[in-house]
């Protein structure tokens, strides 16, 4: 069986590199990284990923805004979205849920445990993490 | 008999008095008396000088009754009781000292407070007294040495309606004073009463008018001082009608050369003033708070406002004044500071995420194993990045709490809070080999109204500290109990404790104590500040108990009732 495909969307090069290394090397996922929402939509329409790891604050379209576009797209609507964010107040959490997120991972994240958290979402495990 | 006076001696005499009306005679010269009264009344009406008039009346009375000396006085009452103050008195001073005293004091009235005397009996009783054998009268307490002899005495009370205003005393009429005398002196006594009554009324009016003048002066002083302040000063009637606004106030609102028209408060601010500000000021004299003014161009201005209601001598509010200072700049600076902290802290997270991530991958062995020294250095780097992350998180948390926008109240089971706290700190406790124990002593169904996330974080901060400072093998106890109308959440440890002198300081931001001097377990210094702020936002209290030796006990006491304090947010 082919490894799940995770699309990482983050405007920070370093964070993309770390997430990719963590998810690919430790988790064994297939990983694609893009830097913004436009690239993300192009990539997703070319091949629907199994999970989207989405930064909250990005230049141009923000994470929640991109999530809403994806939810409105019939072909992409079912892709689980995990937000990566520094902002985790109760209000923020509600915003991620409203935007269609099914979990969030707080930044700074631990690269050693990130793959497990992603796998938990893919397997329909607990929503949200710390 | 030619005169009723004849045979009328001491009271114990058995000779009955002769009624002058029956005998067709009068005891006194009625014509002289009437002339004296008329003259006195005219002078009093025309000149208004009571003392002169009463002295003339006394002279007339002495003359027509054949008395040697006497007085006309007012009955006055103070805290020590009733006493006599003379308005007219014969000078009978018999020593130089008394003569001086008489000359100094008689213009203002002489005061006689010893009522164990014949005149004192009149003052006490308000009734006529005649004593025609004064030296042997038991009611007289004797005379001071040198006092002219007192053979007979007649004391006549002066009444105006039901008010006992004064008395007339005369002495030493040859042959004594017959009872019928009182009737014949009725008109005379009436005149004296009226004049004394008028003097009293005048004195009362003067006091009222002096008080009014004082009140007016005070208002003028207030107005003069406030008119020159650089703050907004508005004066209004007690009913809220604006009387005046000072120049500074007009300028502040942008009405530099015109009348202030319409509302000067925004809607919420106006409501607050009507419902809270004004009633508080009127009942307690003062209200201080923050409100929002409306400038003439319609823009709002944040002000710190005081409403004062100075009271008059009777305790009634005289007017309402409001003093306000523009604090919009201060508010802007405060906002800037908060935005700055939030932005900086947030921007710090991005590089920290990269640092933490790359170090995590290195120490996790994902990129291969490192030799002892390299591995040790990488772990030092990682643990310090973790500290930095903790600091940034705490700064952001405290900042959010200061903004107090994040409190979301709901019913919470305190037992659940303890369990959740233990889940979070269990890992650290196992590393430190510290045992975590939960003790709860709460009746079923007890809940607090609070923000679950904040309370868990506060308890985690307390439990985390306790674990950090506990010796290996010891126990940290988390408990919940009921104390009157509060639920007390507590964390107790067997660590080195806190010096009682340091306890208060401990809750301030960036304060860290180093109990054993080794400084080996450091935190951000914000954990307890967050605990205190969280407690305050719940109308509760954070506190610490320790004797500085045998461990410490930290508590968060939360009210059972819904939060109604200023800090709190009603659900």
Sorting pLDDT into bands at 50, 70 and 90, what band is A67? very high
CB B276 within 8 A of CB B282: no
The C-alpha atoms of residue B372 and residue B388 are separated, in whole angstroms, by 24
Rounded to 10°, the helix A90-98/A63-72 angle is: 30
Please count the CA atoms within 13 angstroms of the CA of B120 that sit on its side-chain side.
13
pTM of structure:
0.53
SS3 B288: strand
Q: What's B135's DSSP letter? A: G
Identify the CA nearest to B490 among candidates B498, B479, B481.
B479
- Among A25, A91, A112, beta carbon nearest to B360: A112
Closest B-chain CA to A11: B350
Sorting pLDDT into bands at 50, 70 and 90, what band is A27? very high
SS3 B345: helix
Contacts 24+ apart (CB under 8 A), B288-294: B290/B327, B291/B265, B291/B324, B292/B265, B292/B266, B292/B268, B293/B232, B293/B252, B293/B253, B293/B264, B293/B265, B293/B266, B293/B269, B293/B324, B294/B253, B294/B263, B294/B264, B294/B265, B294/B266
Q: Which residues in chain A have Cβ-Cβ distances shorter than 8 Å to B361?
A: 18, 21-22, 25, 111-112
Q: Specify the pLDDT at position B32.
A: 80
- The mean per-residue pLDDT over the stretch B264-287 comes to 87
CB B552 within 8 A of CB B544: yes
User: Which residue matches tokens 């439990």?
Assistant: B463
Q: Please report, for residues B32, B167, B186, B383, B512, the alpha-carbon distance to residue B35 in angstroms, rounded to integers and kept in the order given.
A: 5, 21, 14, 117, 100
The C-alpha atoms of residue B183 and residue B532 are separated, in whole angstroms, by 88
The C-alpha atoms of residue B191 and residue B348 are separated, in whole angstroms, by 99
- Among A14, A19, A111, beta carbon nearest to B364: A111
- Among A15, A89, A111, beta carbon nearest to B400: A89
CB B43 within 8 A of CB B52: yes
CB atoms within 10 A of CB B272: 19
Question: Are A107 and B366 in contact (CB < 8 Å)?
Answer: no
Q: Specify the pLDDT at position A91.
A: 66
Q: Which residues in chain A have Cβ-Cβ distances shorter than 8 Å to B406?
A: 89-91
SS3 B532: helix
Sorting pLDDT into bands at 50, 70 and 90, what band is B350? confident
Please count the CA atoms within 13 angstroms of the CA of B264 that sit on its side-chain side.
22
Question: Are B354 and A21 in contact (CB < 8 Å)?
Answer: no
Highest-confidence segment of A114-128, B391-405, B527-541: B527-541
**H helix runs in B66-126, sequence order:** 96-105, 118-125
The C-alpha atoms of residue B561 and residue B571 are separated, in whole angstroms, by 12
The C-alpha atoms of residue B313 and residue B228 are separated, in whole angstroms, by 26
**H helix runs in chain A, sequence order:** 13-21, 37-46, 63-72, 90-98, 114-122
pLDDT beyond 60 at B568: no
The C-alpha atoms of residue A26 and residue A3 are separated, in whole angstroms, by 12
Q: Specify the pLDDT at position A58.
A: 86
SS3 B84: strand
The helices-and-strands tally (H runs, E runs) of chain B is 16, 18
Pairing of strands B232-236, B163-171: unpaired
CB B324 within 8 A of CB B230: no
User: Which residue matches tokens 């926008």?
Assistant: B405
- Among B357, B364, B366, beta carbon nearest to A108: B357
Highest-confidence segment of B317-321, B484-488, B553-557: B553-557
Residues 6+ apart with CB under 8 A from B159: B126, B165, B193
Angle (CA) B282-B283-B286 rounded to 5° is 65
Q: Specify the pLDDT at position A126.
A: 46
CB atoms within 10 A of CB A71: 16
Cis bond before residue B138 (omega within 30° of 0): no
- The mean per-residue pLDDT over the stretch B211-224 comes to 85
The C-alpha atoms of residue B346 and residue A83 are separated, in whole angstroms, by 16
- Hey, of A86, A94, A115, A116, which one would you mutate to test binding to chain B, going by the most B CBs within 10 A of its CB? A86
Residues 6+ apart with CB under 8 A from B132: B8, B9, B10, B11, B13, B152, B176, B177
pLDDT beyond 60 at B527: yes
Burial B491-508 (b: 16+ CB within 10 A, else e): bbbbbbbbeeeebeebbe
Q: Which residues in chain A have Cβ-Cβ distances shorter than 8 Å to B357?
A: 14-15, 18-19, 22, 108-109, 111
SS3 B83: strand
pLDDT beyond 50 at B504: yes
- The mean per-residue pLDDT over the stretch B368-382 comes to 88
pLDDT beyond 70 at B284: yes
Q: Specify the pLDDT at position B404.
A: 60
The C-alpha atoms of residue B217 and residue B462 are separated, in whole angstroms, by 60
Burial of B158 (0-12, 13-18, 19+ CB in 10 A): buried
Residues 6+ apart with CB under 8 A from B405: none
- ipTM value, please give it: 0.81
Q: Specify the pLDDT at position B514.
A: 60
Do you know the residue count of chain B? Answer: 571
The C-alpha atoms of residue A120 and residue B461 are separated, in whole angstroms, by 28
Q: What is the mean pLDDT of chain B?
A: 83
If residue B440 lies in a helix (H) or strand (E), which one and from where to where? strand B435-441
Q: Edge-to-edge, what's the strand order for the sheet holding B486-493?
A: B435-441, B475-483, B486-493, B552-559, B541-545
- Hey, of B341, B346, B351, B354, which one would you mutate to test binding to chain A, going by the most A CBs within 10 A of its CB? B354
């Amino acid at each position: 069986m082919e490894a799940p495909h995770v699309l990482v969307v983050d405007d920070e090069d370093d964070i993309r590199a770390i997430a990719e290394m963590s998810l690919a090397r430790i988790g064994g996922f297939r990983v694609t990284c893009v830097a913004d929402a436009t690239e993300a939509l192009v990539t997703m329409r070319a091949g629907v990923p199994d999970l989207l790891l989405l930064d909250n604050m990005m230049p141009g379209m923000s994470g929640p805004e991109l999530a809403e576009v994806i939810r409105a797209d019939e072909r992409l609507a079912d892709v689980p979205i995990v937000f990566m964010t520094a902002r985790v107040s109760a209000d923020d959490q509600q915003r991620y849920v409203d935007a269609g997120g099914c979990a969030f991972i707080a930044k700074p994240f631990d690269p050693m445990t990130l793959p497990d958290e992603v796998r938990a979402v893919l397997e329909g495990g607990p929503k949200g993490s710390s | 008999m030619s005169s009723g006076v004849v045979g009328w001696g001491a009271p114990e005499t058995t000779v009955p008095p002769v009624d002058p009306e029956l005998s067709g005679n009068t005891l006194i010269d009625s014509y002289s008396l009437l002339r004296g009264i008329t003259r006195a009344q005219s002078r009093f009406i025309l000149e208004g000088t009571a003392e002169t008039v009463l002295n003339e009346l006394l002279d007339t009375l002495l003359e027509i009754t054949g008395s040697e000396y006497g007085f006309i006085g007012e009955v006055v009452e103070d805290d020590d009781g009733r006493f006599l103050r003379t308005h007219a008195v014969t000078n009978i001073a018999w020593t130089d000292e008394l003569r001086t005293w008489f000359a100094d004091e008689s213009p203002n009235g002489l005061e006689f407070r010893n009522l164990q005397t014949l005149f004192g009996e009149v003052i006490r009783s308000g009734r006529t007294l005649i004593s025609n054998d004064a030296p042997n009268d038991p009611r007289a307490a004797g005379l001071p040495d040198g006092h002219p002899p007192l053979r007979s005495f007649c004391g006549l009370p002066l009444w105006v309606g039901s008010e006992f205003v004064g008395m007339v005393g005369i002495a030493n009429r040859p042959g004594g004073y017959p009872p019928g005398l009182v009737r014949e002196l009725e008109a005379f006594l009436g005149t004296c009463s009226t004049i004394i009554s008028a003097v009293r009324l005048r004195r009362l009016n003067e006091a009222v008018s002096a008080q009014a003048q004082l009140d007016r002066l005070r208002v003028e002083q207030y107005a003069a001082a406030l008119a020159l302040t650089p703050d907004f000063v508005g004066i209004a009637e007690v009913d809220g009608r604006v009387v005046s606004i000072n120049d500074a106030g007009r300028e502040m609102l942008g009405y530099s050369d015109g009348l202030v028209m319409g509302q000067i408060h925004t809607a919420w601010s106006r409501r607050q003033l009507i419902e809270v500000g004004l009633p508080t000021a009127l009942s307690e004299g003062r209200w201080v708070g923050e409100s929002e003014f409306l400038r003439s161009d319609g823009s709002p201005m944040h002000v710190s406002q005081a409403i004062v209601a100075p009271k008059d001598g009777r305790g009634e509010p005289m007017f309402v004044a409001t003093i306000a200072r523009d604090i919009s700049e201060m508010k802007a600076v405060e906002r800037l500071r908060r935005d700055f902290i939030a932005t900086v802290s947030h921007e710090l997270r991005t590089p920290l995420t990269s640092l933490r991530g790359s170090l995590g991958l290195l120490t996790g062995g994902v990129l291969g194993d490192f030799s002892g020294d390299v591995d040790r250095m990488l772990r030092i780097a990682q643990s310090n990045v973790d500290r930095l992350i903790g600091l940034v998180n705490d700064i952001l948390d405290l900042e959010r709490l200061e903004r107090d926008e994040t409190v979301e109240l709901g019913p919470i089971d305190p037992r659940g809070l303890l369990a959740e706290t233990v889940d979070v700190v269990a890992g650290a406790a196992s590393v430190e080999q510290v045992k975590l124990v939960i003790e709860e002593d709460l009746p079923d169904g007890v809940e607090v109204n609070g923000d679950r996330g904040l309370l868990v974080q506060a308890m985690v901060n307390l439990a985390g500290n306790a674990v950090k400072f506990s010796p290996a093998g010891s126990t940290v106890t988390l408990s919940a109990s009921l104390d009157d109308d509060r639920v007390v959440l507590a964390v107790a440890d067997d660590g080195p404790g806190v010096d009682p002198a340091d306890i208060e300081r401990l809750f301030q931001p960036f304060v860290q104590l180093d109990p054993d001097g080794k400084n080996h377990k450091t935190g951000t210094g914000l954990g307890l500040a967050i605990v205190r702020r969280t407690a305050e936002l719940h109308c509760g209290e954070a506190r610490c108990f320790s004797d500085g030796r045998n461990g410490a006990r930290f508590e968060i006491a939360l009210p059972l009732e819904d939060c109604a304090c200023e800090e709190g947010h009603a659900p």
